[in-house]
Structure 1
Amino acid sequence: MDAHHYLLAHFRGARLRRQVFNTPADRSVQPARRIGRMSGQELRALMSRVPSSVAVVTVDTNGQRLGLTVGSLVALSLEPPLVAVVISRQAATHELLREAGGFAVSILAAGQEWLAQHFARGVPPIAMWRGIATEAGASGAPLLAGALGWLECRLRDELPVGTHTLFVGDVLCVQLGEDAPPLLRSRGDYASK
């Protein structure tokens, strides 16, 4: 099942579950105000209130390495093991990920805010890796030292979604790091548990 059909099936199932499990009391709850056409900024304001884990997606194609901080890592399936990341089509990592045919993910631990900020800045590729401790994964993509864990993925599918692309990866390898609290992002700031 490709990512598009997986997501459609998932959302149809969620809609059906809401129809089956809503009680009359649930249906009487009305939103505080009706929302017409909303802006992306309103969506960002709401979603920033929901804590999310922080990860760095890395790629390596013929020695050209890039990394990008993401808050959109999602485990899609355990059988087969699939994850997804959402990346702006404007990001340099976007095309390099396609070209590489795969990617690695370092899930950051508390105290690694500086790494999250570093890879969110869009540092030129030449300076991106100075002072960054890494180890090459089986795919060649860099794995960031000190992370909670690492994933190495082969690109399975991609789905254009608005200004971004949802990249689905077959998880080829999982490595656990230290059992530490995760780095989280909420309300525009980094925090730990």
Structure 2
Amino acid sequence: MTIHSDHPFATPEGERDQARRLRGRLGGQVSLWTAGAGAERVGLTVSSLMVAPGEPAYVLGLLDPDSDLAQRLTRGDDPRCVVQLLHWWHRDLAEMFAGLMPAPGGAFGHAEWVQTGAGPRLADATTWAECVVSDTRDVGWSVEVTCRLDEVEVGEDDDPLLHRRGRYHH
């Protein structure tokens, strides 16, 4: 057995996707997007997002087009969702909703939720927004979802969950 200083399955330096590497260097706070109610709840960890201030204001997110959340939000029958910013203590939950960590019983069973008209909201989320999808389009390998911000709560962000270059930071 050999101990490597780098990841043994990493794509070789010269073959790495440069756009993905650029995105990874931008970093930012990790969000969790959720929608639905009861057995129809879906969610996805999203770190590629931005807020466009204005009257009204919007949030734009890049979602995995194969995710249950993207499927729900692009159907158009109930175009509402909740966008919540995660804290460091939510990192396991972020991994579960990203599909990178096992979630026995489902990811929603690993936190406490408040059901809103736009979908489930983490009970301990301090910053969140209830949104209505206004537009979706395919962009690169993602689906861009543009949402009008209907209700916004901005709270403390003492220990935000940050994502940069494929790793969580705080």
| TM value normalised by structure 1 | 0.71
Whole-Å separation in 2 of the counterparts to 1:39 and 1:148: 40
Larger Rg: 1
Q: Which one of 117, 135, 139 corresponds to residue 138 of structure 1?
A: 117
Whole-Å separation in 1 of the counterparts to 2:95 and 2:46: 11
Amino acid at match of 1:118: M
User: Unaligned regions of 5+ residues in structure 2, if any?
Assistant: 1-13
Whether 2:164 is the aligned partner of 1:163: answer no
CA spacing shift, 1:124–1:162, aligned 2, 3 Å: farther
Q: Which one of 146, 160, 164 corresponds to residue 186 of structure 1?
A: 164
| Aligned-CA RMSD value | 2.4
Tell me if the contact between 1:57 and 1:106 (Cα under 8 Å) persists in the aligned partners. yes
CA spacing shift, 1:142–1:109, aligned 2, 3 Å: same
Whole-Å separation in 2 of the counterparts to 1:97 and 1:170: 13
Q: Which one of 2, 7, 30 corresponds to residue 54 of structure 1?
A: 30
Give the helix-richer structure, 1 or 2: 1
SS at match of 1:181: coil
Deviation of 1:63 after TM superposition, in Å, equals 4.4
Identity of aligned residues (%): 28
Whole-Å separation in 1 of the counterparts to 2:20 and 2:98: 17
Whole-Å separation in 2 of the counterparts to 1:42 and 1:109: 29
Deviation of 1:61 after TM superposition, in Å, equals 5.7
Deviation of 1:119 after TM superposition, in Å, equals 0.7
Give the equivalent residue in structure 2 for 1:26: none
Tell me if the contact between 1:146 and 1:177 (Cα under 8 Å) persists in the aligned partners. no
Deviation of 1:130 after TM superposition, in Å, equals 1.3
Deviation of 1:178 after TM superposition, in Å, equals 3.4
User: Unaligned regions of 5+ residues in structure 1, if any?
Assistant: 1-37
Whole-Å separation in 1 of the counterparts to 2:104 and 2:145: 22
Q: Which one of 115, 126, 150 corresponds to residue 93 of structure 2?
A: 115
Amino acid at match of 1:84: L
List 4+ stretches of structure 1 deviating above 4 A.
Answer: 122-126
CA spacing shift, 1:39–1:175, aligned 2, 3 Å: farther
Whether 2:18 is the aligned partner of 1:42: answer yes
CA spacing shift, 1:59–1:121, aligned 2, 3 Å: same
Give the equivalent residue in structure 2 for 1:27: none
